Structure 1
C-alpha cells in the first residue's frame, strides 16, 4: 500500500536505503486530504517525515508552482535541522522540490526573494509567519498554499506563541481555502484538547496515535553521598555522573535553569581529571558558541553536554545514549520529552537517570518515575486566548491593508483558542488598537487605526507599519546586555547577562558564563567588557529563564505516595526522614492541609504544607502574613518552596480556619496587587505584546530601564485615571495565572475546604527543617560563607533529630 501512495522515485529510494514506512507514516499518506490531523508518535518515531510525506507525494507530480507547504517549529535550529534531513530523500529521489527556511537568522535579501519567488516548502517559526502575513502581498504569496505542518505542537500550545500561530493560521485559511493542517507531538496529556486547539473551529481534527514503543529505562542515580537537605546543583553526585559519562557515548545533562547549568559545568570541570570533552549549551550563550557545541555534538566529538530547555525539543543531536536530569523535573511531560533525546530511534528504549538536588527532590523524583511508568502526563488547563496577542494580531492585519471588522471577527473565532471570544471583547480590543483606550485617546501616538466611511479599518499612518512589524512576537526580550572580552583581547562575544545583574557588578567582580570565569572590567556602549580570571569561586550570573514549579498532578502524586506509607523504594536516608516525621508529627495527605506550629530560636513558626508549587506557595505566604498581621499575630517573615510555606513571628497560629478564608484572601490579594511591582512587570510584558509599548524603532532600541520607566508611568496613569482599561484587565488576568499563580492557590484551598489539621509541637519537625536552610540562603560576605551554612545545617538537623 505504501508504495502505491508514494511516487516511484521516492519509493525506490526508500527501498535502496533499506527503509520501510512505519504504520503511522502510511496512515498519514492515506489521510492526506483530511482537513486537520493530530499525530501523536514517540520521539524518534519519524513523525516529522510522516507529516511531510503527503506534501512530497503531491509536489513530486511537478504541477504545483509557488508555496505548497509551510512547516512551523518553535525553534530556529529545529527548522535548520529538518531542512538537512528533508533534503536527503528529496535529492536522493531527484524530486525537484525546493526547500528553504525563513527565521530571524535569514538574511533580508533572501527574505525579499522568498516573497517574490517562494520555495515549494518553507520552514519557519510563528514569529516569521506572523511577519509574512503582515505584508500587502500576502494574498498572492499564500494563494496556492495547500498544507501546514505544526511540529512540537504541545510546546507551542503551552505559550502565547501558539495563540499567535493559531491566529495566523486562521488568516491563512481565508487566503488559501481548503488548507490542510497537520500537528505533530510526542507528549500530549490531553489529545482531544490539543486537537481542538490546532483545528480550524468548529471543524473536527482526527487524532492518530502511533505505537508508543517500549517504555524508557529510567531510574534514580545511586550515589555514595546523600543529597543535601536544601539547595540545588547536585554537586554531591558529580563523581557518579562522571562515571556514567565514561560508560556512554554521549550524555545530555539537563538542568532546569541556566544559572544551575553554569554552576554545574564549572563544578564538573573541577573534577574532570580525565579531561573528558564536555560542553555547555543554553539560550544566554552567544549564537556562535551554541553552534560550535551543536556541530561538535553531531560529529560525536563531545562525551557530554550540560544544557537546559534549549535542547528539549526534537533535534537529532547525534548518538546520545544517556540523559541525566539534574534536579527534580517539576513536570512529567517535560521529563518524557527530555528522556526522548536518548536513543532517538523508533522502538528503541530511551535511557535516563534522575539526580535529585536535595532531600525533598528525592521524593519528587520517585513520584516522577512512577508517573512516567504509568504514562500519566501532566499539564495545566488551557485558558481562552490572551487578549494582548489578539491586539497584536489586529495591528498585523491592518499592516496588510484595510479590513472589515465583521470578517476579522469571524476569522479570529475560527482559531481554537479564541473560539468563545465575544463580539464585545473583540470590539474592545479593536477600540484599544484604534485609540489606546479612554485615558489615552487624546494622544496621537496611540491612535493607530481609523475607520473609513465604508466601515473598513486601516492604519492611520501607513508609515507605522514598519514599527509594528519590528515589534511582532510574544517572546519577551529580557533586559540583557551582551558580554564580550575587552577589545584589547579581540572582543570575542560570550553571551548575555541580565541588565539588573550587570548593574550590581563592580570592576574586579567575577562571574560564570559559558563555563568560563570572567572578570568584570566595565561597561562600554551597553556592552559588558570582561577579561579571563583564574578565580575558583566566581560570583554567579543570574540568567533570565523560567524557574519551574512542580505541576499539580505531580504534587498530588507525591501526597498519595506519602500517605501510602511504603517508602521501601527510596534510599534509606530519605525513608528514615519520612518515618521520623510520622513519629514526631504527621505527614501531609491529599485533600487535607497540614499546619505545624512550633517554637524555634525564640520565635513562633508555622509550616503550611500546601503542595501548590513555588509561585502559589509564595503567594500564600504573602497573603497569610497579611491576614496574620490583621489578626494581631505579628508575623516577621516567610519562605516557600514547591511543597510548603514557613512563616515566623511573635505569636503562633491557634485558629487557622479564618486565616484561610478564600474570600478574604482574594480581597487581600487585590489590595496587595494594586501597587505591587509584579503587576507593573506583568503590565510591561502585556503592553509590549499588545503594541502599547514599542521596544524597537527604526534605528533605535529602548534599553530595559527606558522601557520600564515608560511602562511604569503608563501603568500608574491608567491605574489612577482609567482603572477599567483593557490593558489593566489583561494584566490582572496574566498576573493571576503567572507569577502569582492565584488560580492554583484557589484550587488548593477549595479542595481542602475546612479540612485543616493544626499540629502543635514543642520541637523542630523533620519535614520543616530543610525550609530553614532556604531562609539562610542570603549572601554572607567572605570565605566563611559555606562553613557557616554547613554549621547551621548541622545544627538544624540535629535539633530535628536528623543528624
Structure 2
C-alpha cells in the first residue's frame, strides 16, 4: 500500500507549506484496498481533502475514459457543494490534473445539466435531493455504472434525519448499479461511531467499515460571556439581548465573528439590538433561511471577502463552508446539544493545531447552568444526541416511486436492496408491502380514486410507473424538506425582502410593524402567498415567529445540569447571583437530584400550582402537560392550564393537587393518549409533512404552485378520512412514529417515568419557590410583542422572587 504521495502531490503540499496527515495517508491506503471508511477528524484537519485524495491520485495515474463519473460527493447543503467544488477546482488547476469537476444541485442551470449529460465530470458534487432526482431518470444505470467512490460529507448532519434516509436508500441503489462502489463518510463530530459506521456501510453492518480517527488537534477555548448591565441575568426568556454590548465588545476585538442563535426570530431581534448599540458602526450582517437568496449570497460574499466584522446566523452557517477567516464564534442562548455546539465551535479558526475560541452567552439563569454544563462536556469530549433512528416510511414511499420512474422493478429485489440501507435494515416485509401498496394505488381507503393510482403490475409481477405525466409530477416534488408555510414579503414596488410564517402573517392588521432582514416594515395587506409592506417607523415592532419545533435540551446535557444542581461544590464556577439563587432554593425547598423528580406544590394568586423539574425538553414537557392536566381533571382538582420550558413544567388548578406519586405513574401514557394526540394540531401538522413527502399531496404541479392553505385543507381532510376508514394506514403509522420521536417526544417521557419510579420528591410549600420563578414567568409570555414587555417581565420577576424570598 502507498505510504508516500506521487511527486506532483508532494510538490503541491510543499508549495503550500503543508505536511500530509497520517489520517489522510490512511484514507489513501484504505481506498487502494477498496475499503469503505468512516473518517473522524477535527475541523481544520483536512478531512474533505482526505476524502478526495484517493480519487485525485487514481485519476492522475489512471485517467478515466469519458464519459464516466468516477466519484460522487454528497453534502447536506447546496452552498457547501458549490464551495467545495470551487476549492477542489483550484487544487486540480494548481496541479494541472486533467480532471473535470461539476456540481448538480437545485441551482444548476438547464444548460449545465445538458452539458453534464453529454460530458459527465469525473467529480460530481451534489445533495441528497438532486441525487434522488438523478436516480429517477431512465439513464441512471448508464450514468452511474462506472462509479467507483461515494463520499458523504458532514455525515453526522444526515444520519438519523429524513434526508439521511433518502441518501441511504439512494446509496443502496448506487451499489446495485455499481457493485464495486466504495463509500467514505466524513465528520468532525460523531456521537455514536458504531451506528454511523453501519449507516455508511453498503450492507448496514458496521463491521464492513474501516474507521480512521485523526489524532491531535488543539482543545477549544470555551468560556461564558455574561451581560454587561451590572451582571444582571434575566429569570426567563431565551433571546439574550442583555449581552448585546458585551457581544459588541468581543466583535471589536477580532477580525470576524459568527454570532450563532437558535431561531430566526432571535436572529432578527439580536441583529436589530446590536445595530442599536453599534456606535462604532462595525459592519455586521444577518444570515438565516427566511431571507431572500440574493441577500444571503451578498452576506456570504462579504464574509469571504473580509468586508464584515460579524454575522448573526442560525444553523444556516453551522456546516463547514469556508466563508472567511472566522476567529471566534459566540453562541447566544443555551446550546441545547453538545454535538451541535462543537460543530459551531469548529467554524472558528479553521486550523487543526490552534484552539478555536468560543463564547457562550446565556439568556437566563437556567441557561447559565446549561452553558456551564456544555462547556464542561466539550472539555470532556462528551458528545450527546440520540443514535440514528429507523428510517421513515414516507421517505421509503418517495424512493419506491423514484425507482419506478427509473424503470420497472420486482418487489422482492427492491425489498432486499432497501434492507441493505442501515435505516431500513430491520424493515418488516409487511411495512414494505404496505408502502408499495400505498404507492401503487393509495391503499384500502384511497384506491377508489384514480389520482392515487401511480403504479401498475405486469404479468411478470413487475411494477411500472403508470405514465409520463405521473413521472413528471413526481420529479417536481422530490425532496424530504417540508417548509413551514411561508409567505413572501414584498414592497409596493415588487422588491422581495424575505419570508414570514403564514400564522404570524395572519395575526397582522394594517398598520402593524415588524422586523425582517434587520429592517422595519409596516404591514399593508396580504393576498394569496404575498405580504405587501412599506417602510415602517414604529418604535415597538413585532418580531416574526417562525414555525417548527424549538430544539430541546439533549438528554446528556440535561443529566449534567441535574448533577450540577444537586452538587453545591460544583457551583463555584457560576456567577454569584446564580449561586445565591440556588442556595436560597436549597434553604426554602429542595434541589432536583440526578435521578429523582422534584415536584413542588404551592398556592399563588388564589390558585394551586404544581411545578415538576423534569429536564426533558420543551417538546416532551408540552406532551406531559397535556397528560398531567387530564390526570388532574380525573383527580378533581379543576386544572386551568399549564406552561412549560426546557427545564420544568407548571400546572395550575382550582384545588390543591395530592397523591403526586399516582399523578406521575408510568401508566399515565395509557390515559387516552392515542386519542388526545390524534386530535391535536401537532399530529395533524406531522401528517401534513408525511403526506407531502410520501407523494399523497403535491407541493408543485406543472403550471401552478399549490397554495399553502390548499395543502393544509387537503391534508386535514385526508387525515380524517384515513382515521375513520383505514386507521392502520401506513401513513398514519408513519405519522405516529414521527411524532413519538419529534413533536411529542414520547420516548423521553417513557424513559423519565421509568427513571423516577419510586423516586418522586414532593415538597409542599406555603408560597412560590425561588427555582420556580422562571417557569411562572412563562405564563402569558407569548402575548408580549417583541421586547416591549421586558420591563414588565423584570418587574414581575422581582415581585415573584420577593415572594419566594419571604418564605420561612
Q: Where does residue 28 of structure 2 map in the other structure?
A: 29
Q: 5 Å matches for 1:206-285?
A: 206-224=210-228, 225-285=231-291
Question: 118, 134, 146: which one pairs with 2:148?
Answer: 146
Distance across 2 between alignment mates of 1:412 and 1:324: 42
* In structure 1, distance between residues paired with 2:587 and 2:135: 65
CA distance in structure 1 between the aligned counterparts of 2:339 and 2:216, rounded to whole angstroms: 15
Output the CA distance in 2 between the equivalents of 1:646 and 1:3.
62
Q: Determine the structure 1 residue equivalent to 2:403.
A: 397
Q: 2:590 aligns with which of 583, 586, 590?
A: 586
Unaligned runs of 5+ in 2: none
> How do 1:383-532 residues align onto structure 2 when only pairs under 5 Å count?
383-487=389-493, 491-524=494-527, 526-532=529-535
In the alignment, what sits opposite 1:321? 327
Q: Offset of 1:9 from its aligned partner?
A: 2.4
Residue 308 of structure 1 corresponds to 314
SS of equivalent residue, structure 2 residue 573: coil
Maintained 8 Å contact 1:257/1:545: no
The DSSP-based 3-state class of the residue aligned with 2:602 is strand
CA distance in 1, matches of 2:106, 2:459: 38
Shift of 1:237: 1.2
Q: 2:16 — aligned with what?
A: 17
C-alpha deviation, 1:15, in angstroms: 2.0
Q: Is the 8 A contact 1:577 1:802 kept in 2?
A: no
How much has 1:549 moved relative to structure 2?
0.4
Deviations 1:731-781 (A, max 9, x none): 111111111111111110011112111101112100001111111314268
Give the alignment partner of residue 195 of structure 1, picking from 192, 197, 205. Answer: 197
C-alpha contact (below 8 Å) 2:549/2:743 kept by paired residues: no
1:51 and 2:89 matched: no
Q: RMSD of the alignment, in Å? A: 1.6
In the superposition, relative to structure 1, how do residues 19 and 788 fare at CA in structure 2: closer, same or farther (>3 Å)?
closer
Partner of 1:799: 803
- My pick for the range that moved more, 276-285 or 60-69, is 60-69
Number of the residue aligned with 2:124: 122
What is the TM-score normalised by the length of structure 2?
Answer: 0.97
Report the Cα distance in structure 2 between the residues aligned to 1:787 and 1:413, rounded to whole angstroms.
57
Contact 1:467 1:698 in 2 (8 A): yes
Distance 1:261 1:798 in 2: 33
Residue 264 to residue 44, structure 1, CA distance change in 2 (3 Å): same
The equivalent of 1:380 in structure 2 is 386
Flag the 1:404–1:51 CA change in 2: closer, same or farther, 3 A.
same
Given the superposition, is the C-alpha separation of residues 385 and 778 from structure 1 closer, same or farther in structure 2, using an over 3 Å criterion? closer
Deviation at 1:240, TM superposition (A): 1.3
- Shift in CA distance, 3/375, structure 1 to aligned 2, threshold 3 Å: closer
SS at match of 2:802: helix
Residue 202 of structure 1 deviates from its aligned partner by 4.6
Match of 1:733 in 2: 737
- The change in CA–CA distance for 1:545 and 1:345 in structure 2 (over 3 A counts) is farther
SS at match of 2:367: helix
| 1:655 Cα offset (Å) | 0.5
Q: CA deviation at 1:636?
A: 0.6
Q: Partner residue of 2:105? A: 103
Residues 280-318 of structure 1 show CA distances to partners (whole Å, capped at 9, x for unaligned) of: 000110111011111111111111110010000001121
Q: Is the 8 A contact 2:195 2:387 kept in 1?
A: no
Unaligned runs of 5+ in 1: none
More displaced 10-residue stretch of structure 1: 389-398 or 476-485: 476-485
After TM superposition, the score normalised by the length of structure 1 is: 0.97
CA distance in 2, matches of 1:720, 1:654: 38
Say yes or no: does 1:722 pair with 2:726. Answer: yes
Q: Deviations over 1:150-200 (max 9, x none)?
A: 000000113110010000000000111100100000001111110011111
Residue 768 of structure 1: SS of its match in structure 2?
helix
Rounded to whole Å, the distance in 2 between the matches of 1:294 and 1:786 is: 33
Do 1:255 and 1:261's aligned partners in 2 also have CA atoms closer than 8 Å?
A: yes
Q: Distance in 2 between matches of 1:782 and 1:722?
A: 45
Indicate how the Cα distance of structure 1 residues 64 and 19 shifts in structure 2: closer, same or farther if over 3 A, else same: farther
1:556 aligns with 2:559: yes
| Counterparts in 2 of 1:515 and 1:212: CA distance versus 1, 3 Å | farther
2-side partners of 1:433 and 1:660: how far apart? 42
Q: Deviations over 1:355-376 (max 9, x none)?
A: 0000110111111111001000
Aligned counterparts of 1:504 and 1:81: Cα–Cα separation in 2:
39
Q: What's the offset of the Cα at 1:478?
A: 2.1
Q: Distance in 2 between matches of 1:429 and 1:781?
A: 45
Segment drifting more, 106-115 vs 740-749: 106-115
**1:260-290, Cα deviation, whole Å (9 max, x unpaired):** 0100000110000110100000011011101
After alignment, is 516-525 or 358-367 more displaced?
Answer: 516-525
The CA deviation at 1:37 is 0.3
**TM-aligned CA distance change 1:244 to 1:299, over 3 Å:** same
CA distance in 1, matches of 2:783, 2:587: 35
Q: Which of 300, 304, 324 is 1:298 aligned to?
A: 304
1:74 aligns with 2:76: yes
- Three-state SS of the structure 2 residue aligned to 1:730 is helix
CA displacement, residues 531-578 of structure 1 (integer Å, 9 cap, x when unaligned): 222333211111235411000010011111111222111000001111
Query: How many equivalent pairs are there?
Result: 799
Q: 1:783 to 1:450 in 2, by over 3 A?
A: closer
Residue of structure 1 aligned with 2:536, choices 530, 533, 538: 533
617-626 vs 542-551, which moves further: 542-551
